[in-house]
Chains A and B, each alone.
Chain A
Amino acid sequence: DVKVTQSSRYLVKRTGEKVFLECVQDMDHENMFWYRQDPGLGLRLIYFSYDVKMKEKGDIPEGYSVSREKKERFSLILESASTNQTSMYLCASTGISIYEQYFGPGTRLTVT
């Protein structure tokens, strides 16, 4: 079974803090994704990566950055957290010949 894990289920941070969300997959997938999920807006793509050290902006990259130093790990970084970044963050992965995405359990981030 493909497993995608996220470092935290719940996180509370203060405005201005630097926040790291970690995602690890164990199936040697090439592609990894970060989404945020908000009520009524569905899933919106923040960034994705198709290889180590490669990244592409999604629909809402502002205020975020990412890092992929190893194939199995994809990190989302909030350089200076703001209250409008309070959300559920979902990580997903997929292989080149494996078309469906596999999701982690999500991290619910609250910025106060």
Chain B
Amino acid sequence: AQSVTQPDIHITVSEGASLELRCNYSYGATPYLFWYVQSPGQGLQLLLKYFSGDTLVQGIKGFEAEFKRSQSSFNLRKPSVHWSDAAEYFCAVGAFTGNQFYFGTGTSLTVIP
């Protein structure tokens, strides 16, 4: 069965520190992978996506993610976190047909000064 696991429910980092949010997936075919961010009281905004090709993908707001097929992982990284990055982050897997998506339970990020 398809599933997405985000093992960290909550992470706290200091402003300026590096960040890595973990995501593992289980999917029968080649996955399409996404990271979304949700600010408080808002909908989800796409940060980045992976379909094929280069396994290191760049996204908006200085985020990047690396697809590792051997580990079934798609971890999100940022070299230097800003206070405005405090939000909830969701990893998702999608099917090529565009009508099947599976979301992780989210990681809440707190940034301390």
Q: Which chain A residues have a beta carbon within 8 Å of chain B's beta carbons? A: 4, 30-31, 33, 35, 40-43, 45, 48, 50, 56, 90, 92, 94-106, 108
Q: Is the CB of B49 within 8 A of A43?
A: no
For window 64-113 of B, CB contacts with A under 8 Å fall at: 90, 92, 94, 96-99, 101, 103-106
Chain B residues whose CB sits within 8 angstroms of the CB of A106 once the complex forms: 41-43
Q: Is the CB of B105 within 8 A of A40?
A: yes
User: How many whole Å from A73's CB to the nearest CB in chain B?
Assistant: 17
Tell me the complex Cα distance, A102–B11, Å: 26
Q: Is the CB of B98 within 8 A of A90?
A: no
Tell me the complex Cα distance, A103–B43, Å: 6
Q: Is the CB of A100 within 8 A of B105?
A: no
Q: Which chain B residues have a beta carbon within 8 Å of chain A's beta carbons? A: 9, 32, 34, 36, 41-46, 49, 51, 90, 92, 94, 96-99, 101, 103-106
How many residue pairs between the two chains, A and B, have CB atoms under 8 Å in the bound complex?
Answer: 58
Chain A residues whose CB sits within 8 angstroms of the CB of B44 once the complex forms: 90, 92, 101, 103
Tell me the complex Cα distance, A74–B39, Å: 24
* CB-CB nearest 6 A-B residue pairs: A42-B105, A103-B43, A103-B44, A43-B103, A105-B43, A31-B99
Partner of B99, one of A4, A35, A48, A104: A48
User: How many whole Å from B86's CB to the nearest CB in chain A?
Assistant: 16
Tell me the complex Cα distance, A96–B36, Å: 20
28 of the cross-chain contacts (CB-CB < 8 Å) are A30-B98, A31-B98, A35-B103, A40-B9, A40-B105, A42-B103, A42-B106, A43-B90, A45-B101, A48-B99, A56-B99, A90-B43, A92-B44, A94-B98, A95-B98, A96-B98, A97-B98, A98-B98, A100-B46, A100-B49, A101-B44, A101-B101, A102-B46, A103-B43, A103-B44, A104-B43, A105-B43, A106-B43
User: How many whole Å from A51's CB to the nearest CB in chain B?
Assistant: 10
Q: Is the CB of A33 within 8 A of B101?
A: yes
